[in-house]
């Protein structure tokens, strides 16, 4: 297997790993109000998340940023909860022409937090010298982006099916998906190791 595929596959598995479902949960929460016709906005948000994630990895791998792992593991479910709560309380209230600036900035910041959560593991698998690290980081980022697009596509297909065949309104679907996400993420927060300090 080529080196490109090694890091690309690590990126894919990082998102699609069933045991590390926090990334999938965040993506679900992120695309709650969107449909296929909003594909440009969705692509921008997913890409911003990847940029934030990659930026955090670069800063961490090169030793610019160091952060307590338990704090990051606590902040990740917080990002999911905030996103789901935002859409829970704004379901059915957004206009078609609304700017995604607020959500875009938050998504970029959340990407940084999620990237920091993976940085310790990623540092252990990278080549030794600083000059050898950038290309694997970018290959990994490409794997992340493709995996995120797969997740988003599945969520959008599910949204289409539920809203078209089961006649859920867009608002009701947003409420259901937001509530589901909140219900899954709350135990993650409660069981966080940050409370045992």
Residue-range domain boundaries for the chain: 3-14+22-192
pLDDT score of 194: 86
pLDDT tens sequence across 29-84: 999 889 999 999 999 999 999 999 999 988 988 889 888 888 988 999 999 999 99
Phi, psi of 9 (to 5 degrees): -65, -35
DSSP summary character for residue 11: H
| Dist. CA 126–CA 132, nearest whole Å | 8
Q: Is residue 92 scored above 90 in pLDDT?
A: no
Global pTM? 0.88
CB atoms within 10 A of CB 17: 13
What pLDDT, in 10s, does the model give residues 15-26? 998 887 888 999
What token pair was written down for 23? Answer: 């990334």
Banded model confidence at residue 3, pLDDT cuts 50, 70, 90: confident
């Amino acid at each position: 297997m080529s080196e490109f595929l090694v890091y690309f596959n690590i990126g894919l598995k990082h998102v699609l790993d069933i045991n590390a479902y926090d990334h999938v949960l965040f993506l679900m929460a992120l695309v709650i109000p969107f449909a296929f016709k909003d594909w440009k906005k969705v692509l921008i948000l997913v890409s911003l998340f990847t940029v934030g994630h990659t930026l955090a990895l670069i800063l961490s791998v090169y030793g610019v940023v160091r952060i307590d792992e338990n704090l990051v593991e606590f902040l990740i479910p917080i990002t999911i909860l905030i996103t789901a709560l935002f859409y829970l309380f704004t379901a059915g209230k957004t206009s078609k022409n609304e700017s995604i600036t607020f959500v875009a900035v938050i998504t970029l910041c959340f990407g940084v937090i999620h990237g920091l959560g993976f940085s310790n593991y990623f540092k252990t698998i990278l080549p030794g010298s600083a000059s050898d690290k950038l290309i694997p980081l970018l290959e990994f980022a490409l794997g992340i982006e493709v995996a995120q697009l797969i997740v988003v596509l599945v969520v959008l297909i599910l949204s289409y099916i539920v809203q078209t065949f089961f006649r859920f309104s867009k608002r009701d679907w947003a409420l259901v998906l937001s509530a589901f996400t909140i219900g899954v993420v709350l135990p993650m927060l409660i069981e966080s190791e940050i409370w045992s300090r």
